[in-house]
Structures are given as C-alpha cells and as structure tokens.
Amino acid sequence: MRFEGRAWVFGDHIDTDVIIPARYLVSTDPAELSRHCMEPLDPEFPAKVRPGDILVAGENFGSGSSREHAPMAIKGLGVGCVVAASFARIFFRNALNIGLAVVECPEAVAGTETGDLLRVDPLAGEVANLSRGEVWWARPYPEFLVHLIQEGGLVPYVRGRLGVR
Amino acid sequence: MAMTVAEKIIARHAGLERVEPGQIVSARVDLAMGNDVTTPVAVERFREMGAGRVFDPEKVAIVLSHFVPAKDIPSSQLARVCREFAREQRIRWFFEVGKGGIEHVLLPEMGLVAPGDLVIGADSHSCTYGALGAFATGVGSTDLAAVLALGEIWLRVPETLRVVWRGRPGPWVMGKDMALALIAKIGDDGARYMCVEHVGEGVEALSMDSRLTLSNMAIEAGAKAGIIPADSRTLEYVAERQRASGLEREVEPVVSDPDATFAGVVELDLSELGPQVAAPFLPSNSGPVQQLAGTPVDQVFIGSCTNGKLEDLRVAAAVLKGRKVHPSIRCIVIPATQRVFQRALEEGLIAIFLEAGCQVEGPTCGPCLGGYAGVLGPGERCLSTSNRNYRGRMGHPEAEVYLANPAVAAATAVAGQIVHPDDVLS
C-alpha cells in the first residue's frame, strides 16, 4: 500500500463541520459529499484536488462530530491518505474503518508545503517528501490496526468474523 | 492490579481480569445507539457486512433527533431508513418524532443507561452517559454497524485524566461553566484519546442535569469518555427512571482504585469560577462572561443535548420571568425531549418563554449543528447554550457562535448583548 501525490496543507483543529458542513449530511453518497469537502475554508478545494492527492494537516485533525461523512467526503475526492500531526480519535477510527489511510507524523507536516510531491507508505510508516528529498518515519500502528488496514477496513473484517464470503 | 473506572468497565466487558492503557480489546456492548444522520450510513454498512439480524434488538436504540421533523425531502428519507430498519429488526428502543427527543437527554431519562454499562453511540456526544458512571463513547457509522452485527467493539483502552473539582459552584455556575473552564485550561485536544474522570466535592454537589452537561462536553476536549463515578445521587436517579420504564436491574457502581494510575491530575477550584463564555471559533476560547460583556448578538439559542434539560429551562425561565426578549434580537428555546417539554409546560416555564417573546420549538438538535430552526446567515452572531462554536457550525462560515450556560443566554436575550445574569436581575 503506497500513495504518491501532491500535498494540500491545512492547519490545526480542522473539525468535521469544516470537512463537511452538517447541511450536506442529508446525503450518504461519497461523490456528492466530496463536492462540499472543506467548503467553509475554501469552496474551490474540491475542484482543485486531483485523485491521488494527499491531505496534510496539523494537530487534532477531524475533531468534533462523529459523522463518518467526513472521511467519506475526503475519500470521495480520490484522496487516499491523510497525514497529520495528530488526529481526533473518532475521525481516526472512522478513516481506518472505511479504508482511508491516516498517518500520524508531525515532522512530515512541519516539513511539507502545499504542492510538494509526497510518497506515503502507511504500513511501513514512511512519509517521503520527493520535492524536498526528505524522509520521515511515523509511529507504527498497533498490531490489530495493521490487520484491520490489511483487510481493507471494518466491513471486510466483520464479514470475516461472520463467516460471510 | 489497581485500575481506573474506565479500565474496570472495559476489562469486565472484555472478559479480562485487567487491562491497561494502550491495549486493544474487543468489548461486549450493553447499548448501541444511532440517530437519523448516522444510522442510515450504518444500515448500508450493516448490509455490506452480510449481517442478517442485529445482535440483540433489546440493546439497540435508534433516535430521530437531528433533522426531524423532516426539514426537507432528503432528510425525510434518512428518517424513513431508520424507521424501516427499526421495524425490520424489531428494535426495542426506536424513538419516533413526538415520542423522544435528543438522544443524550433521552436515554438517561428513559433509564436505559446505568453505572458500569458500556455504551456505544454513533454520535460524538455519546460521552454524555459517562455522567451516570458508565463507559460511553462516540463512534462513526461503520463502527455502529459492526456493533449491531457482533455485539462487540474494538477499543483501545484509554489513559485516564483525573479532574478534581474543589469547592462548590457559586451563583449562576452550572455544569456548562465547568466544562468550558476545563477545556480552556487543558485545550481542545487536552484529553485526546483519554478518559476524563471527574471527582471532588464540586462534582458531588452537582445536580444530575449539570453532571450530564459536564460529561457531554468531554468530546470538546478530545476525550473518548467523560466519567463521573456513580454516587447515591446517581443511583437514585437511575433507579427512579428504570422503575418508570420497567427496567429495574442490579446496578453495581464502579470507582477507581486509590492507587490507580492516571495520565495526569488537573485541579480546578469552583469557588473562583463564575459564568463562562467561549468566543469563536473554539470552545477553549473561553473566559469569564465579563470579558465579553457588551458584545451585541442577533440570536440566542437555549437548547441542545448540552443545555436543553429541565434544569436548564428552569434557570433560563428564572431570568426571563416578567422580562422581554430585546426587540432587536430573537431567542429560540428548544426543550431536548418530549418529557422535558411536558414538564416545562406543567411548571409554567413554556408560558414564561412565550410571554417573553421567545420562539419555542419541539425537541430537535435543530440549530446547534446548523440543521434548521435558527440557522445563522453571514455575519450573524448567536449566543448559544450548545457545545460547539466551530466555523460554520450553526450556518454560514462568516457567522459567529458564542457558548454559555442558560442563565447567561437568557440574560443576553433580555439585554440584546452578552451580559452577566446579575446585571439583568438587579
């Protein structure tokens, strides 16, 4: 599992009301939700992002509401991976559960600007800034989460537990 | 091995003698809850998981609260998905419009949560139930789907941050002020991944409604749970409500061992605390009401899972009685549940609000999350008793939300600007 794309850098405490405002929660469709991703900060953001791009943010990314529509909206943009200095815990769970890679690496966040080309290997914990020729290492996931990520999220995990093929 | 309340409850539900922070366990769930925003996504995931029936229809609650009564055509569909799923799965605790309200006030009121329980709710403010001495945490929809399918959840055992409240709350000081003061002290992520455990004489002196408010805002400090260990007040509250719902059962309060390990201990002195107001755009941006006195507002909102309880309405009515909402602003009052609404009506509180010129709505989350019934336009400013003042939370990104308790909110409604309740009453 490896992601390579342009970085979009955001600040600290990006909450889920900013990632996807509540008025759009009447939809459960990732494509529809993605059209309003980050709208309060930058209404043009969804139009500027290309599939494969990588979101980079400061402390406490995804704080606030438990709405899974937030990681769904990000994934709906074709973004496969978020690198942040830290994540709010419900967002962290939601992202892993739906197969959106989340990597906690404050050093990488400090050393990255919007437009830099990043290469991220979540399971290896490697974040490389190809534009600047730097490499940082994230804290490894606990064993259970490695298993969950390898399975592709909680849906395949539960299917396995239930013996559903 | 000494353990905290959170560790003890998680260990018991994981079938383990002991657990320690950082450990990931699979824990049995006593009650799983979803609302009209999170349940429809959970139902999609539940189907994808290939699950046929929920683990136990007696242990599932589905509450229509956010966009009901349906605010538009798409939200009518969300409620419909909930309704049909509840019927199909014979969910015992499905709450239709007119029979429930906001889940975090409703479930305690119904006696559905007891000390020592492990509760999973697909709403971030599910940490509210910690006020009853339960371990309760918010999750997303896929997690809820997994709980519905398996009756279990994977949990990372959290570190516990102990908060010791010295002294007793003074005039106009409520659970809300304690929550805001704590967040101002430790920060919006000061308890990230942790369980906050509130102890001390200041908490013991607190009413159950104020305790629920204090636990409710644990999430605004990033916490996984906000527990107030059960005492005689908790047991009485729970027993009374269980009896009314026909749900009496053995309840075993859980307290931390004296030599349990805490990630940190924070002490706060209530004798020095007055009413607080949080300025935009973070709850941690709070301080004494005097610092923001004179700030004009366009709207006051009294309600939400944080402050739409009976105590909150009583306090607001005490300030508004015989007074009028300032002519240049509007004040919206929303009782959190049908039962709170009914009691407020019986006690004459609703009449006071109507007489004062407030708009009173039926139970809903409504404007708290910019849903409906009081959405803010560009540049508008609202003083709200809800829990979040994030950018765009109540509507337009250029609108501003100030957070406060119901006494400050009611006083602000009268003055048309942020004010200490004493300044309106004198």
Contact B223, B194 (CB under 8 A): yes
* Distance in angstroms (rounded) separating the CA atoms of residues B199 and B267: 10
B41 interaction partners in chain A (CB closer than 8 Å) = 28, 68-69, 72
Tell me which amino acid residue B332 is. I
Q: What is the pLDDT of residues B195-212, one digit of tens each?
A: 999 999 999 999 999 999
Give me the mean pLDDT over the B243-258 stretch: 94
Strand extents, DSSP E, A10-133: 54-57, 81-84, 101-104, 117-121, 126-129
A146 touches chain B (CB under 8 A): no
Contact state of A60 with B188 under an 8 Å Cβ cutoff: yes
Contact B383, B369 (CB under 8 A): no
- At residue A82, the pLDDT reads 98
* Distance in angstroms (rounded) separating the CA atoms of residues A130 and B333: 55
Tokens of A115: 């437009």
Q: What is the pLDDT of residues A101-147, one digit of tens each?
A: 999 999 999 999 999 999 999 999 999 999 999 999 998 899 999 99
Under DSSP, the state recorded for B30 is S
Interface test with A, best of B36, B103, B189 (most A CBs within 10 A): B189
* Distance in angstroms (rounded) separating the CA atoms of residues B138 and B123: 5
Contact state of B146 with A158 under an 8 Å Cβ cutoff: yes
Facing A93 at nearest CB: one of B49, B139, B369? B139
A114 touches chain B (CB under 8 A): no
Torsions phi, psi of A15, nearest 5?
-95, 170
Q: What is the pLDDT of residues B302-331, one digit of tens each?
A: 999 999 999 999 999 999 999 999 999 999
- Torsion over CA: B347, B350, B355, B356 (sign): positive
Q: How far is B410 from chain A, CA to nearest CA, in Å?
A: 26
Q: What is the pLDDT of residues B337-384, one digit of tens each?
A: 999 999 999 999 999 999 999 999 999 999 999 999 999 999 999 999
B49 interaction partners in chain A (CB closer than 8 Å) = 155, 158-159, 162, 164
* Distance in angstroms (rounded) separating the CA atoms of residues B173 and B272: 10
* Distance in angstroms (rounded) separating the CA atoms of residues A89 and B375: 28
Interior angle at CA B354, CA B318 and CA B344, nearest 5: 55
Contact B232, B203 (CB under 8 A): no
A40 touches chain B (CB under 8 A): yes
* Distance in angstroms (rounded) separating the CA atoms of residues B262 and B160: 5
Q: How far is B310 from chain A, CA to nearest CA, in Å?
A: 25
Q: Which residues contact B6 (CB under 8 A, 6 or more apart)?
A: B135, B157, B158, B160, B195, B197, B225, B227
Nearest Cα neighbor of B199 from B278, B260, B136, B277 is B260
pLDDT at B109 exceeding the cut of 80 = yes
- At residue B426, the pLDDT reads 85
pLDDT band for position B1 (cuts 50, 70, 90): confident
* Distance in angstroms (rounded) separating the CA atoms of residues A28 and B44: 9
Contact B118, B9 (CB under 8 A): yes
B135 touches chain A (CB under 8 A): no
Q: What are the percentages of helix, strand and coil residues in chain A, rounded to 5?
A: 35, 20, 45
Facing B388 at nearest CB: one of A40, A64, A154? A64
The mean predicted confidence, pLDDT, of chain A is 96
Q: Which residues contact B147 (CB under 8 A, 6 or more apart)?
A: B29, B32, B55, B120, B139, B153
Strand order in the sheet with B286-288: B286-288, B276-278, B400-403, B381-384, B299-302, B330-333, B359-360
Residue A45 burial by Cβ neighbours in a 10 Å radius (0-12, 13-18, 19+): middle
Give me the mean pLDDT over the B207-225 stretch: 98
Mean pLDDT by 10 residues, chain A (165 residues): 96 97 96 97 97 97 97 96 98 97 98 98 97 96 94 96 88
**Helix ranges restricted to H, B20-69:** 38-48
Question: From the CB of residue B21, how many other CB atoms can be counted at a distance below 10 Å?
Answer: 18
* Distance in angstroms (rounded) separating the CA atoms of residues B54 and A98: 20
Nearest Cα neighbor of B32 from B124, B145, B130, B131 is B145
A68 touches chain B (CB under 8 A): yes
Contact A119, A4 (CB under 8 A): yes
